[in-house]
Amino acid sequence: MATFLKDLRDIYVVGAGWHRYQPLSETPYVALGLKAIRQSLADAAIAWPDVESSYIGTGRLGMAAGRAMLKHLGATGRPLVHIENASASGSAAFRHACIEVAAGIADVSLAIGVDKPAAVQRAYTKTGIDNLAEDAIVPFTHFALLTDEYAHEHGVNPEDIALVAVKNHRNGSLNPNAHRQQARTIAEILGGKPVSGTLTTLQCCPVGEGAAAVIIASGDAIKRLGIDAGRAIHITASAASSERAGLQSAADAAITKDTIADALRQAGLKPQNVDVLEVHDAFTVEELQYIEAMGFCEPGQAIHLLKEGAFNIGGQMAVSPSGGLIAMGHPLGPTGVGQIAELTMQLRGEAGVRQHKSAKIGLAHMVGTGAVCYAHVLQKP
């Protein structure tokens, strides 16, 4: 019988920090990561020696990136783990930090994602075994085709799907940590540089650099270290899965449906209970597919709810108030951790101009090449 987080001891996010997501710069990745970690420690009001383990999510930095970074905080002898899981690297780092604290192996753990753009050769090119056209369609063409498929199946204009980008660029313009911080009109979105099909660059996520960090702590640690319990956000579910045989073009949506259903079931919630959703929207159509896959509405209805403002900050459910991958950016390693940090700020009521009123339940969702999928539920105690 499976064991879930709720079957173990209660755990909480007690600190969050970022280095802004941004285009490639000369800033060393160590400086990016240290800024996020120090901000998360200050947010939790604890010291580095209080952290008993660290999980580092990266996609492009290479071997043992965390060791070279964490030593600048002080060599404490505590365990550290490096995790690479494509776009979901940060989400995987967070999940395993949660498991360690919930299981009582550690009282306080750090999940940090950090990355800089670099050329990476995917492992499937090194298998020595012929693959059937896995590299025949590049990702942006795949999602351009899915955009056309969604529009045709549900009788909407492909251009309407670009309204996802309008919302997320608007949210990103309110976020000082976002890669893109400029609100855009639908004309500007559609008039951007063409990428594939109806997709333009402004409907696709920028892959830059940055860092995000969160501190996970047990209830015992909160008392022992004098952490402000009123700002601690309860982690009530963690779910993960990978692709299975028989899935076709919409494999990411299929595993999303199962993974989010698992997370909500663990937390004892329904999709309509979610106040804030941070979703993997690397391309505009993904947001609509994943909202429908989670069961918030019937297939084909997300576009209409979007047009009615249901997914705006202040709407029925704020979707990607951070700006999402499209505006917040997608540096790979930090992305999943940054989603958790955004939900933490929302559920504390500390998100400022991005604040979704009376937010009590947050859901984070990420997929990664392979495909893998992660979902986490956070709740205001």
Task: State the average pLDDT for the chain.
Answer: 93
Give the pLDDT score at 149. Answer: 85
Structure confidence at residue 124 as a pLDDT band (50, 70, 90): low
* Angle of CA points 245, 334, 303, to nearest 5°: 60
- pLDDT above 90: residue 135: no
SS3 82: strand
Dist. CA 114–CA 363, nearest whole Å: 22
Answer for the pair 233, 343: CB distance below 8 angstroms, yes or no: yes
Dist. CA 379–CA 273, nearest whole Å: 11
Structure confidence at residue 120 as a pLDDT band (50, 70, 90): confident
Answer for the pair 162, 190: CB distance below 8 angstroms, yes or no: yes
Dist. CA 45–CA 343, nearest whole Å: 19
- How confident is the model over 215-240, as a mean pLDDT? 98
- pLDDT above 90: residue 141: no
- What would the pLDDT profile of 146-200 be if each residue is shown by its tens digit? 778 887 888 998 889 999 999 999 999 999 999 999 999 999 999 999 888 888 9
- How confident is the model over 336-360, as a mean pLDDT? 98
Q: CB 205: neighbour CB atoms within 10 A?
A: 26
Nearest alpha carbon to residue 162 among 199, 195, 112: 199
Structure confidence at residue 252 as a pLDDT band (50, 70, 90): confident
Dist. CA 195–CA 197, nearest whole Å: 7
Q: What backbone phi and psi angles, to 5 degrees, belong to 93? A: -60, -45
Q: Quick one: what percent of the chain has pLDDT higher than 90?
A: 82
Residue 213 is encoded by which pair of tokens? 């960090």
Give the pLDDT score at 246. Answer: 62
- pLDDT above 80: residue 138: no
Which residues, 6+ apart, have CB-to-CB distance to 304 below 8 Å? none
Dist. CA 257–CA 228, nearest whole Å: 35
As a three-state string, the secondary structure of 288-305 is HHHHHHCCCCCCCCHHHH
- pLDDT above 70: residue 91: yes
Dist. CA 119–CA 132, nearest whole Å: 23
Q: CB 366: neighbour CB atoms within 10 A?
A: 31
SS3 164: helix
- How confident is the model over 92-118, as a mean pLDDT? 97
Give the pLDDT score at 137. Answer: 57
- How confident is the model over 370-379, as a mean pLDDT? 94
Structure confidence at residue 249 as a pLDDT band (50, 70, 90): low
Give the pLDDT score at 15. Answer: 98
So where are the chain's domains? 5-118+206-379
Which residues, 6+ apart, have CB-to-CB distance to 335 below 8 Å? 87, 90, 91, 113, 212, 325, 329, 366
SS3 273: helix
Beta bridge partners of 297: none
Give the pLDDT score at 198. Answer: 84
- Per CATH, the number for 5-118+206-379 is 3.40.47.10
- What would the pLDDT profile of 15-59 be if each residue is shown by its tens digit? 999 999 999 999 999 999 999 999 999 999 999 999 999 999 999
Give the pLDDT score at 158. Answer: 82
- pLDDT above 90: residue 102: yes
Dist. CA 151–CA 147, nearest whole Å: 6
Q: Quick one: what percent of the chain has pLDDT higher than 70?
A: 93
SS3 179: coil
